[in-house]
Structure 1
Amino acid sequence: MNPSGHFGGLAEIGGAPIIIVEGEQNKSRLTGLEARKANIQACLDVANMIKTSFGPRGLDKIITTKDGDLVVSNDGAIILKHLPISHECAKLFVDLSRSQDMQIGDGTTGIVILAGALLEQALELLDMKIHPIKIADGFDFAATVAIDWLHAHHAAVELASETQLLQVAKTSLCSKIISAKADLFADMCVRAVLGVADVARRDCCLDLISVECKPGGSLEESLMVNGIALDKEFSHSQMPKTVNDARIALLCCPFEPPKPKTKHKLEISSAAAYDALAEQEAAYFSNMVQRVAESGATVVICQWGFDDEANHLLLKAGIPAVRWVSGKELEMISLATGAQLVARFEDLSAERLGRAQTVREVSVGTEDQRMVLIEGCPTQKAVSILICGSNRSVADEAKRSVHDAICTVRNLVVNPAVVPGGCASEIACSLAVSAAVPSQVSHRQFAVQAFADALLKLPQQLAANAGFQGFQVATAARAAQLQLQDSSIGIDCSSGEPRSMSAAGVFESLDSKVHQILLATQIVKMVLRIDDVIECDKSQQLR
């Protein structure tokens, strides 16, 4: 019994009242087919919102964030990340796109469109009174057929040759804001990944690739540094701007006098006492700088700040220094240069210094922003890409685009297998799933065929975004595959005609396609299994 003296949600079992849901009258509830349709419609609204951003001719969205910043992007994960979505099932699509972005890096829009197409087909099957579990089972079987076909017809990539890696990177970049400079950035991405990858172990740690962006300048001014690019400048404007054959000291201790760990109070009663205190402080700084000089260090990189006196002494000693460097950046510098982190000045020695051919401060962009570049590192376990853009929005979107391309190339190092792009794989998988329909019985045939039809929504949307009749172009490509028995025929977004994507050099990662089909099918099955939506009254929750 609730405080008001009323029972909420009662069931009579043997005459005894049982409370099932407390305060049921204060809750909004949808059940059965009504709940499924409401959930599907919410997900379709999300998919329809970003479908025009799909493909190389996809359009951008401009979003104002909660902080008032403007975001211009056609990346599905970025768009959904900044949308104020409140519906529970619609949030699943946000998580779906985020998962694709985190694990694969590319295909964030396509996976949402595929999931939306599957739900649209499922809605028609629900209207035909087909049970949602049978629909889910049919989709699961069709996804297995499509994935098996992809595994059986993929092409292997020879990592020793960069040609196919460049083709895959350019395919990823062709739908981005930097598509006009796809050759430049694709080459950077491939060289960056191969520079840090362990090809023998099929492993690549993306933490070793740093991507920095600076507003000002043009995209052509972007460059790749075989080393580390720090978004910092030397601590004093008169320090040398270039150091050759640098010996680098990495400090995680500040250039400051020691401080007691407990509260303290120091009283100075005379001028002589003050002078003695100043001399003692100067001695601390002189000792610190002297230890640095005696170790043979020619560049100091510190995790913490400098006192002005210490900065002045470093300038007099001719030792350039960088301060307020993050722990992650220090680790990258340590890996690249071989330097060891030093926690106390007493531990600093020549054996703990790192090496680099050049450490230099450069001006970037048109706003006189400065960065410190550490180049020619002996171990070469870290790479940096410096991106320039005409403004902050362009630079940020270019950075996101490069990240996607880097992830795509990384996937090929882990699993060197590709499939044709231009939605050729989706069309071929649709044909394979349609061929498997007769093997199913009863209502599962409808679900399997619906999955095949949903796969064709991707080439239709690709053609529509390029300015052509989506259904006609997709149908023509499907007919060409059947007639020529060539599964590499996809859609040429320039002419709208069927074309061999293998001959055109348009490839995508096998892992990306498999991941899209798997995740989209799982999310759709999850939505179909929901038959009850209970939303509590927030005012009741607060009480």
Structure 2
Amino acid sequence: MSAVGTVAFDEYGRPFIILRDQESKSRLSGIDAIKSHILAAKTVASTVRTSLGPNGLDKMMVSPDGEVTVTNDGATILDKMDVSHQIAKLMVELSKSQDDEIGDGTTGVVVLAGALLEQAEELIDRGIHPIRIADGYETAMRVALAKLDEIADDFPIDAKNTENLVQVAMTTLGSKIVTKCHRQFAEIAVNAIMSVADFDRKDVDFELIKVEGKQGGKLEDSQLIKGVLIDKDMSHPQMPKTIKNAKLAILTCPFEPPKPKTKHKLDVTSAEDYRKLQEYERKKFHEMVQQVKDAGANLAICQWGFDDEANHLLFQNDLPAVRWVGGPEIELIAIATGGRIVPRFSELTSEKLGDAGIVRELTFGTTKDRMLVIEGCKNTKAVTIFLRGGNKMIVDEAKRSVHDALCVIRNLVRDSRVVYGGGACEIACAIAVNKSADMNPSLEQYAMRAYGQALETIPLALAENSGLNPIETLSDIRAQQVNSNNSHLGIDCLQQGSPNMKEQHVLETLAGKKQQISLATQLVRMILKIDDVRSPGEGQ
């Protein structure tokens, strides 16, 4: 018998080793398990806490392939982090849920969840059972959500006067890399949403908004294109660069002779046979080009490529063409131009053509890069946001920033109520929760007070990241809110001399803030109820 195990024999007399690692398996249960969960969650929350707010710091993540990402978007930071702890993975999922549902507040939701767990740890050390803490948090959450409803302001959405929406988008973009031209980006996001929003259903179809980026140029060169932008150029350099009143044939069939669908092969044994084959190919190409022209098309958009001979024939027959256009782009072009995607040349008719006012080729300075813009479309709802930036990292971060702004404006179309940022609504909720705790005779009052303290972590982190004295600033704002009963007072992160967030136009959507508080609370309640962790394959 060895120190690590013992030898046994199977029914055929073959030896195998039974390892004695069962007792050395780490398995946590009870309060130790809960404390381990809290430690993991606190570590994740402290990582992203410094990225909160307009003065939050960026993080640089390097993938195993050496690809560098620089961002302060909470969801992206956590997604790129390689976490192995089970609870840390739950925090990543929490941030992802907030990003999928709301699009903004991904850092705040993780910071809040970490703060709630940190407060819970102190209560557990004082002997309060985790279930009582979870119940107290649930009660406090209901008080906080009711307070948010009470202090929310209605924001009428008017497609003609979008200044209100621009202010909300600017709050979202204030902490992003595009902050130097965030008014321009806010207007781009608002105009894009206004172009595609369905105000009757109170919803926005994001499929109609395409975000395209191209490195080179400045952030200020970014623009909104009322149409479709595709990263392609005309298939022949001498084809016209601008086509007015374009009739588009949108094809998913290649410009090539049909292949025989048999296993037989064709042997070319003489020059005469080769000439016959060449003539057959040319005739087929002519037929295809003629079918497109007969339908009335003056531009062919093809999903597949075609060889130089077909390309030359298209040029000779004055039929401009674009090749290798991807599936999503083909669909967007079809939606925008009102055309039908045609899988066979024989099915092409004039009714299936798409209409566009102008199709033009964009060129970028001295580079050879070219892109096609399809504008003046039949369906004016399809738009493209075209972003520029000095390098790939800036373009990628600009895309993430614009996505957040688009999501926030969409949420306002769904529910037009707003609350005030800069930690103002969190302080108001914390005051309301503490008042409610004072009237609660049960043990849950301790958990409710802890919840109030956790809510104040957001303004505390904002003050800290802005270089202010966090405790003094928070105490001062809290006292002002209580004395004046004004829930618009928050942390003056941008040092503009007034803590009134209404005057500073620092706005957040009510739906986003409510989602943030309820998601964080639900996750914390779940973590507090996990008191045993077993890995797969462990003993019974």
TM over 0.5: yes
Whether the aligned pair in 2 keeps the contact of 1:216 and 1:367 (CA below 8 Å) is: no
**Same amino acid, percent of matched pairs:** 49
**Which secondary structure state, in structure 1, belongs to the residue aligned with residue 60 of structure 2?**
strand
Structure 1 residues 151 and 260: alpha-carbon distance in aligned structure 2, compared to 1, 3 A threshold: farther
**Cα distance between partner residues in 1 of 2:413 and 2:250:** 32
**Cα distance between partner residues in 1 of 2:356 and 2:206:** 22
State the AA in 1 paired with 2:145. Answer: I
**Which secondary structure state, in structure 2, belongs to the residue aligned with residue 315 of structure 1?**
helix
Instruction: Report the counterpart of residue 15 of structure 1 in structure 2.
Output: none
Deviates more, 1:457-466 or 1:25-34: 25-34
State the AA in 2 paired with 1:464. Answer: E
1:523 Cα deviation (Å)?
0.9
**Which secondary structure state, in structure 2, belongs to the residue aligned with residue 523 of structure 1?**
helix
1:44 Cα deviation (Å)?
0.7
Instruction: Report the counterpart of residue 63 of structure 2 in structure 1.
Output: 65
Instruction: Report the counterpart of residue 400 of structure 1 in structure 2.
Output: 400
1:411 Cα deviation (Å)?
0.7
Instruction: Report the counterpart of residue 233 of structure 1 in structure 2.
Output: 233
1:461 Cα deviation (Å)?
0.2
User: Aligned ranges for residues 462-477 of structure 1 at < 5 Å?
Assistant: 462-477=462-477
1:60-118 per-residue CA deviation (whole Å, 9 max, x = no partner) reads 01110122110000001111111111101100111111111111111110110000100
1:23 Cα deviation (Å)?
7.3
**Cα distance between partner residues in 1 of 2:492 and 2:376:** 42
**Cα distance between partner residues in 1 of 2:365 and 2:71:** 22
**Cα distance between partner residues in 2 of 1:411 and 1:225:** 23
So what's the TM-score if we normalise by structure 1?
Answer: 0.93
Instruction: Report the counterpart of residue 518 of structure 1 in structure 2.
Output: 518
Is residue 409 from structure 1 mapped to residue 412 from structure 2 by the alignment? no
1:497 Cα deviation (Å)?
5.8
Is residue 195 from structure 1 mapped to residue 195 from structure 2 by the alignment? yes
Deviates more, 1:50-59 or 1:256-265: 256-265
1:417 Cα deviation (Å)?
1.2
Q: CA RMSD in A?
A: 1.9
Instruction: Report the counterpart of residue 433 of structure 1 in structure 2.
Output: 433
Is residue 281 from structure 1 mapped to residue 273 from structure 2 by the alignment? no
1:263 Cα deviation (Å)?
3.5
Is residue 128 from structure 1 mapped to residue 126 from structure 2 by the alignment? yes
**Which secondary structure state, in structure 2, belongs to the residue aligned with residue 476 of structure 1?**
helix
1:502 Cα deviation (Å)?
1.2
1:218-273 per-residue CA deviation (whole Å, 9 max, x = no partner) reads 01111110010111122122211111111111111111111234434211122111
**Cα distance between partner residues in 2 of 1:132 and 1:435:** 23
Instruction: Report the counterpart of residue 12 of structure 1 in structure 2.
Output: none
Is residue 369 from structure 1 mapped to residue 372 from structure 2 by the alignment? no
Is residue 34 from structure 1 mapped to residue 29 from structure 2 by the alignment? no
**Cα distance between partner residues in 2 of 1:418 and 1:49:** 28
Is residue 208 from structure 1 mapped to residue 200 from structure 2 by the alignment? no
Instruction: Report the counterpart of residue 89 of structure 1 in structure 2.
Output: 87
User: Aligned ranges for residues 18-417 of structure 1 at < 5 Å?
Assistant: 24-25=22-23, 27-160=25-158, 161-364=161-364, 367-417=367-417
Structure 1 residues 300 and 107: alpha-carbon distance in aligned structure 2, compared to 1, 3 A threshold: same
**Cα distance between partner residues in 2 of 1:535 and 1:106:** 34
**Cα distance between partner residues in 2 of 1:473 and 1:366:** 52
Structure 1 residues 428 and 286: alpha-carbon distance in aligned structure 2, compared to 1, 3 A threshold: same
**Cα distance between partner residues in 2 of 1:99 and 1:316:** 54
**Which secondary structure state, in structure 1, belongs to the residue aligned with residue 132 of structure 2?**
helix
Whether the aligned pair in 2 keeps the contact of 1:27 and 1:534 (CA below 8 Å) is: no
1:4 Cα deviation (Å)?
7.0
**Which secondary structure state, in structure 2, belongs to the residue aligned with residue 521 of structure 1?**
helix
Whether the aligned pair in 2 keeps the contact of 1:26 and 1:537 (CA below 8 Å) is: no
1:442 Cα deviation (Å)?
2.7
**Cα distance between partner residues in 1 of 2:471 and 2:366:** 47
1:286-310 per-residue CA deviation (whole Å, 9 max, x = no partner) reads 1111111111111111111112221
Structure 1 residues 454 and 427: alpha-carbon distance in aligned structure 2, compared to 1, 3 A threshold: same
**Which secondary structure state, in structure 1, belongs to the residue aligned with residue 399 of structure 2?**
helix
Structure 2 gap segments, 5+ residues each: 10-19
**Cα distance between partner residues in 2 of 1:236 and 1:93:** 52
State the AA in 2 paired with 1:318. Answer: D
So what's the TM-score if we normalise by structure 2?
Answer: 0.94
State the AA in 1 paired with 2:61. Answer: I
1:451 Cα deviation (Å)?
0.4
Whether the aligned pair in 2 keeps the contact of 1:27 and 1:535 (CA below 8 Å) is: no
Aligned structure 1 segments of 4 or more residues deviating by more than 4 angstroms = 2-6
Structure 1 residues 337 and 498: alpha-carbon distance in aligned structure 2, compared to 1, 3 A threshold: same
1:389-435 per-residue CA deviation (whole Å, 9 max, x = no partner) reads 01111111111101110111011111111111111111111111111
